[in-house]
Structure 1
């Protein structure tokens, strides 16, 4: 079927009309959405004048310094900002404190800690796990105000 010039012109006008209709309805939808939003929005000028809401706040996070708790483990002083954690660490036996210090603060591997104490890696892993359990229990005790001490 050969396309005549009149048919091509008809297709062009039809497509042109379709595009105009789509654009018109898109504009109507955008206008309706904007109207709905305007009904729900409140001006910042209204908020500041009528209810005296401040437009900004100050962050006091860095202004108030943390309390520092120093603990000596393996001959080195560690400064903590959590008082309960510091008290719980002090309540642990010295050996357990050393293992926690080497693993979490000095970033030694379980194998390296095991070699220092003459044990295998899995035993050191178990000791770290057990010490963390004791530390968790001790912190719970301190948060409830009881005075118990746990040891291995």
Structure 2
């Protein structure tokens, strides 16, 4: 006797190929080139990166509270090429995660669910991240450089 739940386990990918669905979502069911999948996965990745950035902030604050030598070490690292690269990445992470969060708030309010809106806001999300990251660093160089 077959299990009636089996019918719900068969699906189609965006290219029409028939696939057997896993019991829970997994990377094999996502089309990575699809805007919705890419922005969703990036939102999760930037959330994790943001947590790592918080650890960097804690290191900086602890060094500032500890004394001049510890603070000088952190400042040296932050001003090295690797530190600046990490800070640039964290700036992009912060902007992406913030803009994606605003997009999710709009979805929570019931706006922007139609496919053209999802793709339009996805493109706006990527363009906004790049523009705001570059703008942030231009201001940083002008005012603190």
When Rg is computed on C-alpha atoms for both structures, the one with the higher figure is: 1
Give TM-score scaled by structure 1 length.
0.28
Higher relative contact order (CA 8 A, sep 6+): 2
Give TM-score scaled by structure 2 length.
0.29
Q: Which has the higher helix share?
A: 2
